[in-house]
A and B are shown apart, each in its own frame.
Chain A
Amino acid sequence: MLKGYISPYNATVVQKLLDGGAVLLGKTNLDEFAMGSGSTDGVFGPVRNPWSYSRQYKEKIVPRSDSEPENSNWVITGGSSGGSAAAVSAFTCFAALGSDTGGSTRNPAAHCGVVGLKPTYGLISRHGLIPLVNSMDVPGILTRCVDDAAVVLGSLAGHDPKDSTTVQDIFQPFALPSLTDVSKLSIGIPKEYHAPGLSSEILAVWSKAADLFKNAGAKVVEVSLPHTHYSIVCYHVLCTAEVASNMARFDGLEYGHRSDMNKSTESMYAATRREGFSDVVRGRILSGNYFLLKQNYEDYFVKAQKVRRLIANDFVKVFGSGVDILLTPTTLSDAVPYVEFIKEDNRTRSTQDDILTQAANMAGLPAVNVPTALSGRGLPIGLQFIGRSFQEKQLLTVAKWFEKQEMKYLLCIQILQISGYTHHQKDEFQTSSGERC
């Protein structure tokens, strides 16, 4: 639909980076209109996870049959901002921007072994971000370590007169303190995140991380977010409704693809949208319009909004009870091979893959994926920290402490084992991230 379209203006986040002296290297691939969880449904083809080519993954993978070419085992990046995660993971850049509506920054960050920060809704301007679900979209930040994420956040956050949903409060950029004492922290472990389909490997990493906090003196408590189960179905209604609305502008008149059909304006619309949108996008538009019909509005949209409120209230209650940070897995498993992933359709995949990340968007809370360990197959596993609204500093401080622990060391060693990277590239990596990694 937008093939060849070049925006005549810069997004606020892009402009802020340029103003801050950043060098823009390029644009990254993603699922069309950010609709997907694998970065496999984009017009430029699927995004390949750099870790597919790491020495340890290659060593550990067992070829299914001799006839299969060697490179058919590559794994997906997750999505929708898979291109951004891959770019950071493959050391092509210092940081990348994504968008996060249901987990689109954190999910690929987990699969690609990088830090993925979804800030609080309203902290970073959405001006210039093509909307998926306006009420949940947030520009996401992908970096290799938590400190870098804080640096990028510092240059992006703050009120934008062009986005009325950004908060008026002045944002003070911060450097993260090195936490030495976590004994005053209360870490919540939401039991609902022990979801069906959670791999035992990830469960083990999650438990280990909880123990790590406990052993360091933090208070680790099991908490309940009882409405989590309804999150995905609720999200599906709200998402498709807003998609249907947001996609109405793509009619071929002002910009983008326009069909040759010229029998009437209406037939031109229909042909343009038929030709320009993928099946996934069209499916969401159709269901969204169905939910918004007068006869269905109360039964679907209004109910979904009420459920959303309940989900948000779950978090309010938990944080109100004294919990500072929630610790959860980011994904159910490590990245799956592309050939496996496409066996299920986009909707099923999105439903499964967003399950652990999505509620934070419903509640507008800040959340960050921190690379934690490598799976048995040699692929990254990440854990998610969810913080209080606008408490990015606290969230990232805790994430940094966690990153610094033993697992992080292991991860960095593993990163450097990615095959195909020369010593020269290693040097570059070190200069970009300094000693922190």
Chain B
Amino acid sequence: MAARGCGGVWCRVLQRGPGGSCSASRPRRAVACNARGGAVPLGQSGLAPWAAVVGLEIHAQITSNSKLFSGSQVQFAAPPNSLVSFFDASLPGTLPVLNRRCVEATVMTGLALNCTINKKSLFDRKHYFYADLPAGYQITQQRVPIAVNGSLSYSLCKDNKMSQMVTKTVRIKQIQLEQDSGKSLHDDARSQTLIDLNRAGVGLMEVVMEPDMCCGEEAAAAVRELQLILQTLGSSQAIMAEGQLRVDANISVHHPGEPYGVRTEVKNINSIRFLAKAVDYEIQRQIKELENGGTVLNETRAFDSKLGCTVPMRDKEGKQDYRFMPEPNLPPLILYDAKSLPANVNHQQVVNIDWIHERLPDLPSVKRAKLVELYGILPEHSFTLVNEDGLMDFFEDVVKQTQMKPKKVIGWILSDLLSHLKQHSLTAKESPISSFLLADLLNLLENGDISSSAAKQQWAEMLDGLRAERAIYTQRQMKCSTWSGGERIAVVETDPTRSASRVDGVFEELWKGEGKTPLEIVKEKQLELIQDQEELEQICQAVIDEREKEVMAIKGGNEKVINKLIGLVRKATRGRANPLLVKQILEKKLSE
């Protein structure tokens, strides 16, 4: 047990009431969960710690043009029952024809998850009556699936600190191909059920993970890594909100050293955040139940995202006997490798494992390692780059187009771009600032054309423009034609309305797509560094004249005070002054 889990075990809050916490060495997540549990009387087990065991079954919809066994198109949110073939509707006499693309996607996924690919796999029928299962059975791979015995490595940060990442491994029991079901819509008011068979028969990969995880955070991290892998492979779009990735979690708790407890299954979790919540809630619920002398039932539960808790599912009461039997209409699925590939075979008719293996793209873990090696960035930064949708490509595009060192670029990407994107719930692909524009901006900075504060300011303006977009049209009239430097400072720092209107200028130009470069904007807005020595000297002199007290202090030997003056000059120039140059001028003037 010690090797797995959140680096520790679960414990109950012992009569400390809400907000109470376990000893400091215990993981933060566990503490937080325990705290949520509230005040609970001390159970029979006293101080004995609990360990949670979490296994996952993940259904990933395969990205394919047509369904697993029929020619119907696969498409999300199409009009109801518009993508249903005779086979999908289980008309008598129709037969399944296996979609080669689905097999290849599953083999690809199996290889990416370090699985053994079975050269011969079989299809089975799993029987149950449900309105959105027209044939009365699902074709799946119960006995011999395509891929078995794999593993998935994933990382998560310890104590929520990015700098302390730990890597864990979960064993993959198997990956099987199966049909998706249709969708039922229950209309309680009119007491009827509406059926949409568009999804019926879409190819699914069921990835079965061994119970090697022990908390919601681990489960969430494992699923996120799987999601990234599937998306990298293109075997599934794995968009959870569209139901392309659905997670069932098997959860039990026990005392380390004792046999596993009775498990419950929380079904159909459709977001990674909810997965973490559902697992943690269920662990706490089971511990509470057991500590209160109750028992955990082997049941199916659902996660209620609004209430943040799991509830028993009524429709799956009692044990189902699925009456598995071999699917007689599909011959065994034979896969080949370079060695076993028969000569004179029609390549359209066979799937060659080696061929697929050779063409596997770089997996997320390899991508991260390459980023670290190639750009000298920190491993935790590589995680963010890879895990955030499209961010890595954006970063690499910027790096290609700028002379700035990647190590410096990453700061801009992670602290500036990402935080702004998150504020607006955008992905990197949807960024209003293209990688080209950002690179241009960074180049200005790198060339010393503008200061970093000016760049950031401009940057903020570029992004804030998004928010101001609507305001642009109403505020357009307010745009001032000329500002003196002093006014400008005042405007920027004290008057948000006017600052927005000034921002308009930059953004309007950018959004109009007239191809204005940051350089042009900088020129227009007079943001470039003041190259004119005389002008700078005048500004410095003005500051010195205004700050007699500080000047006296410096002359009295307190040299640190000069920084304050430098700051004042920067403020006066709105960051358009080179600090080194300003220091030189001030020192010169003060020593006069």
Give A residues with C-beta under 8 Å from B: 2, 5, 7-9, 11, 126-131, 133-135, 161-165, 168, 241-242, 244-245, 247-249, 251, 253-255, 265-266, 269, 289, 292-294, 297, 301
Contacts and interface: CB of A to CB of B under 8 A. Distances in A.
B323 A244 contact: yes
A163 B37 CA distance: 57
A134 B323 contact: no
A129 B329 CA distance: 12
B557 interface: no
Interface of B: 86, 89-98, 125, 127, 129, 131, 134-137, 193, 195, 321, 323-325, 328-331, 349
Contacts of A126: 93, 95, 329
B180 to A, nearest CB: 17
A131 B92 CA distance: 8
A249 B95 CA distance: 13
A134 to B, nearest CB: 4
A254 B90 contact: yes
B328 A242 contact: yes
A129 B93 contact: yes
Contact of A293 (B90, B97, B321, B330): B321
A130 B86 contact: no
Sorted nearest first, the 5 A-B pairs with minimum C-beta distance are A248-B136, A134-B328, A292-B323, A135-B328, A249-B90
A80 B131 CA distance: 32
B90 A162 contact: no
Given A164-B331, A242-B328, A249 B127 contact: no
A96 to B, nearest CB: 18
B349 A164 contact: no
A7 B329 contact: no
Nearest to B136: A248
B8 to A, nearest CB: 39
Chain B binding surface, main DSSP class: loop
Contacts of B137: 245, 248
12 contacts: A7-B93, A11-B93, A127-B94, A164-B331, A241-B325, A245-B136, A251-B136, A253-B131, A253-B134, A266-B129, A297-B325, A301-B325
A2 B92 CA distance: 10
Contact of B131 (A11, A248, A265): A265
Nearest to B330: A164
Given A9-B86, A251-B129, A253-B131, A245 B92 contact: no
Contacts of B125: 245
Contacts of B92: 2, 5, 7, 130-131, 249, 255
B324 A297 contact: yes
A54 B195 CA distance: 55
B321 A294 contact: yes
Given A165-B95, A301-B325, 17 more contacts: A7-B93, A8-B91, A9-B86, A127-B93, A128-B94, A129-B93, A165-B328, A244-B323, A245-B325, A248-B129, A248-B137, A253-B131, A255-B92, A265-B131, A269-B129, A293-B323, A297-B323
A131 B93 contact: yes
Contacts of A131: 92-93, 329
B188 to A, nearest CB: 12
Contacts of B324: 292, 294, 297
A127 B85 CA distance: 14
Contacts of B135: 248-249
Contacts of B127: 245, 248, 292
B97 A254 contact: no
A8 B84 CA distance: 13
A248 B329 CA distance: 16
Contacts of B328: 133-135, 165, 242
B87 to A, nearest CB: 9
Given A248-B136, A292-B324, A294-B321, A164 B96 contact: yes
A5 B91 CA distance: 11
A292 B322 CA distance: 9
B276 to A, nearest CB: 34
Contact of B136 (A241, A249, A297): A249
Nearest to B87: A162
Contacts of A265: 131, 193
B93 A128 contact: yes
Contacts of B329: 126, 131, 134, 163-165
Given A244-B323, A266-B129, A165 B331 contact: yes
A5 B92 CA distance: 10
Given A134-B328, A134-B329, A265-B193, A254 B93 contact: no
B93 A249 contact: no
Nearest to B88: A254
A134 B135 CA distance: 14
A277 to B, nearest CB: 13
A207 to B, nearest CB: 38
Nearest to B134: A254
Contacts of A11: 93
A301 B90 CA distance: 25
Contacts of A135: 328
Contacts of B93: 7, 11, 126-131
A360 to B, nearest CB: 17
A134 B136 CA distance: 16
A253 B324 CA distance: 23
A330 to B, nearest CB: 26
A161 B129 CA distance: 29
Contact of A8 (B86, B95, B129, B331): B86
Nearest to B92: A130
Given A164-B96, A249-B92, A292 B86 contact: no
B91 A7 contact: yes
B134 A127 contact: no
Q: A161, A253, A269, A294: which has the most chain B beta carbons within 10 Å? A: A253
A165 B331 CA distance: 6
Nearest to A135: B328
A297 B321 CA distance: 11
Contacts of A247: 136
B98 A164 contact: yes
A161 B97 contact: yes
A5 B93 CA distance: 13
A175 to B, nearest CB: 29
A9 B71 CA distance: 15
Nearest to A268: B131
Nearest to B84: A254
B136 A164 contact: no
Nearest to B86: A9
A76 B331 CA distance: 37
B72 to A, nearest CB: 14
Nearest to A255: B91
A247 B129 CA distance: 12
A350 to B, nearest CB: 20
B95 A127 contact: yes
Nearest to A264: B191
A155 to B, nearest CB: 19
Nearest to B132: A253
Q: A134, A249, A255, A289: which has the most chain B beta carbons within 10 Å? A: A249
A2 B91 CA distance: 11
A247 B193 CA distance: 22
Contacts of A251: 129, 136
